[in-house]
């Protein structure tokens, strides 16, 4: 790929798409000019129809070429050319999965017609049998009527997928508007001129919440998102916040400068701007929403007995980390007629633990050793951090849900040692260990390194490809790509850890070219504190800042 990732590139999108390596992009979101005479900086939005359609054909073909075989293409377009561009995309080879309508408030006023208040969103894939659709991400799911209206414990606490058909239940719709976030008519407020979210330099700004739903649905953390029409930079900023890699094209040099300023102010893990639900109301019924009853004493006894049998004397955290042990616990709960799901009873088990109602553990698992943490603990940290950003869930929430835990395992294995056979139990326990140690180290480390952080001295740096002998010692380090640090780690032998990363395809594709380091011979707990301090001092800016452990997650 000749164009730099995590960058905004100025130029014509057709030419820039041609410079991309074929099959290199995971997700494309395109919001092209609608050809309705809008006053852009340098682009003519009043082309002849034939000219506009030929230009559209060229960039759509460029998108198809750039996407991986499993890639996804979302197209936002107005009424005037929606049908033509949909047909052109399908002629190119795309398959249309959904035709979503984005309905917005503060519609564009029309003098001799109805105000424009919607945009078409086409969801295309290259391969109808092989594409990313993150159906378990709780941030794209909606609460079911079974949970909201009927308070049924059998409801999936992670919610359900939105409908692909717009069905309005009049008795449950808000009086002023019958739109629901679960339908394929999506209701997000347009970013009007008075909104706090408005950047000001571009009149056609997409809301961040809309892009967040699309990016979460159709890509995974660290995959590459491309916007060939950078515009106000919303796609790129949201991709960065959600721990994706990103790339944008923009014809206007002035807009490129504004977009870069916006990107510089955004960090991985930052909140997505705008309301999550434009209609902040709960479904209603004639009798009102039914309240869930707290679990009774009989339920409590069943869960405790299931824990005692399945847990074999181990602590609840260990039961949560061990897939086989946890499955037995859930099966025992269900066999006693409790109903519900694994997530419900895992969460309830943790509630009982926190309230002090669980029997004391009689067996203690072996501790994760410093050698083990050095070997694969960093991968657990990466997986935890990625999911905490994408799913907005705590570590307990992640491990309580079998679906979320499976995604944690997948990510840990991707970023773990390439030649090692690490079990799910080991990866999960390492994450628990990291969380506990961050508590222990925070106060001591903050005080110890406060003076060190204020020093302006230049830290030692080793180029990848040169001798790494200087790293043959304990310490903390930051992997760099150019002038930007993207992962802070700690190790009793930094060279080993760095070489592990370089030998893993998922790390090497991030492009590390140098290492900044600080030698340190203190305890491992203090190393975690030093790592956080170093990460803060170096101010990593790339998406991979997510790989730096944030003690606040604990």
Summary mean pLDDT of the chain: 77
pLDDT in tens, 60-81: 999 999 999 999 999 998 888 8
- 360 in any annotated domain: no
Domain residue limits at 259: 7-265
Query: Torsions phi, psi of 163, nearest 5?
Result: -70, 160
Least confident range from 103-112, 374-383, 506-515: namely: 103-112
What is residue 25's DSSP assignment?
E
The CA distance from 386 to 404, in Å, is: 12
Q: Are residues 397 and 315 in the same domain?
A: no
116-125 vs 95-108, strand pairing mode = antiparallel
Confidence tier at 286 by pLDDT (50, 70, 90): very low
Domain count across the chain: 3
Tally of CA atoms within 13 A in the half-sphere of 498 that contains its CB: 31
- 55 in any annotated domain: yes
Q: Are residues 330 and 375 in the same domain?
A: no
Q: Are residues 230 and 157 in the same domain?
A: yes
Q: Are residues 347 and 409 in the same domain?
A: no
Contact (Cβ atoms closer than 8 angstroms) between residue 222 and residue 251 = no
Residue 126 pLDDT > 90: yes
Q: Are residues 161 and 249 in the same domain?
A: yes
Which of 519, 525, 522 lies closest to 554, judged by CA? 525
Q: Are residues 334 and 196 in the same domain?
A: no
Q: Are residues 183 and 133 in the same domain?
A: yes
Q: Are residues 444 and 334 in the same domain?
A: no
pLDDT in tens, 190-227: 444 434 444 444 445 688 888 998 999 999 988 999 99
Element (H, E) at 197: none
Last residue within a domain, chosen from 354, 380, 395: 354
Question: In the structure encoding, which two tokens stand for residue 86, read together?
Answer: 């949909």
pLDDT at 151: 57
Q: Are residues 346 and 452 in the same domain?
A: no
Q: Which residue has the higher pLDDT, 321 or 377?
A: 321
Q: Are residues 151 and 42 in the same domain?
A: yes
For the CA atoms of 344, 349, 353, 356, the dihedral, rounded to the nearest 10 degrees, stands at: 100
pLDDT at 519: 77
Least confident range from 33-42, 142-151, 518-527, 544-553: namely: 544-553
pLDDT in tens, 252-279: 998 999 899 999 888 888 888 865 554 4
The CA distance from 501 to 120, in Å, is: 42
Q: Is 407 helix (H, G, I), strand (E, B) or coil?
A: helix
Residue 423 pLDDT > 80: yes
pLDDT at 173: 36
Q: Is 485 helix (H, G, I), strand (E, B) or coil?
A: strand
Q: What is the pTM of this model?
A: 0.71
pLDDT in tens, 324-346: 999 999 999 999 888 888 999 99
Q: How many CB atoms lie within 10 A of CB 49?
A: 11
Which of 439, 407, 411 lies closest to 553, judged by CA? 439
- 515 in any annotated domain: yes
Question: In the structure encoding, which two tokens stand for residue 218, read together?
Answer: 């159709």
Q: Are residues 312 and 389 in the same domain?
A: no
- 255 in any annotated domain: yes
Q: Is the dihedral of CA 359, 360, 362, 367 positive or negative?
A: positive
- 208 in any annotated domain: yes
């Amino acid at each position: 790929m000749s164009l730099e990732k995590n960058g905004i590139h100025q130029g014509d999108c057709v030419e820039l798409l041609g410079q991309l390596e074929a099959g290199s992009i995971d997700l494309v979101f395109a919001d092209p000019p609608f050809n309705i005479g809008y006053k852009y900086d340098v682009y003519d939005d009043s082309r002849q129809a034939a000219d506009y359609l030929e230009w559209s054909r060229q960039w759509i073909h460029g998108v198809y070429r750039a996407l991986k075989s499993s890639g996804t293409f979302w197209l936002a377009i107005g009424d005037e050319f929606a049908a033509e561009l949909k047909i052109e995309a399908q002629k190119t080879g795309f398959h249309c999965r959904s035709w979503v309508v984005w309905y917005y408030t503060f519609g564009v006023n029309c003098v001799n017609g109805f105000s424009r208040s919607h945009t078409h969103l086409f969801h295309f894939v290259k391969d109808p049998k092989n594409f990313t659709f993150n159906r378990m991400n709780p941030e794209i799911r909606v609460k079911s009527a079974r949970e909201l209206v009927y308070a049924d414990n059998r409801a999936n606490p992670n919610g359900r997928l939105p409908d692909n058909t717009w069905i309005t239940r009049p008795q449950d719709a808000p009086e002023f508007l019958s739109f629901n976030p679960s339908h394929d008519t999506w209701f997000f407020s347009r970013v009007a001129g008075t909104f706090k979210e408005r950047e000001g330099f571009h009149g056609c700004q997409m809301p961040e919440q809309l892009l967040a739903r699309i990016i979460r649905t159709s890509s995974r953390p660290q995959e590459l998102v491309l916007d060939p029409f950078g515009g106000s930079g919303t796609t790129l900023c949201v991709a960065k916040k959600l721990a994706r890699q990103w790339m944008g094209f923009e014809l206007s040099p002035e807009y490129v400068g504004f977009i870069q300023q916006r990107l510089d102010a955004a960090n991985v893990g930052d909140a997505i701007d705008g309301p999550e639900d434009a209609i902040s109301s709960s479904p209603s019924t004639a009798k009102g929403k039914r309240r869930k009853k707290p679990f009774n004493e009989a339920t409590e006894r069943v869960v405790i007995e299931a824990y005692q049998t399945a847990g074999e004397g181990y602590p609840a955290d260990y039961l949560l980390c061990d897939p086989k042990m946890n499955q037995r616990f859930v099966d025992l709960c269900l066999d006693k007629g409790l109903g519900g799901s694994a997530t419900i009873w895992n969460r309830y088990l943790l509630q009982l633990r926190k309230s002090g109602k669980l029997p004391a553990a009689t067996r203690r698992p072996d501790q994760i050793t410093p050698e083990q943490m050095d070997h694969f603990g960093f991968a657990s940290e990466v997986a935890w951090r990625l999911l905490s950003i994408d799913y907005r869930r705590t570590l307990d929430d992640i491990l309580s849900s079998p679906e979320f835990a499976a995604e944690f395992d997948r990510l840990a294995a991707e970023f773990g040692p390439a030649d090692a056979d690490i079990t799910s139990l080991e990866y999960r326990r390492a994450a628990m260990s990291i969380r506990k140690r961050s508590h222990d180290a925070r106060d001591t480390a903050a005080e110890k390194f406060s003076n060190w952080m204020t020093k302006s001295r230049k830290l030692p740096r080793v180029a990848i490809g040169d001798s790494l002998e200087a790293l043959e010692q304990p310490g903390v380090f930051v992997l760099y790509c150019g002038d930007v640090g993207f992962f802070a780690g700690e190790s009793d032998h930094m060279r080993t850890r760095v070489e592990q990363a370089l030998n893993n395809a998922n790390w090497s594709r991030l492009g590390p070219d140098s290492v900044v380091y600080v030698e340190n011979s203190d305890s491992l707990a203090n190393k975690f504190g030093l790592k956080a301090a170093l990460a803060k001092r170096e101010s990593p800016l790339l998406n991979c800042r997510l790989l730096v452990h944030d003690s606040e997650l604990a």
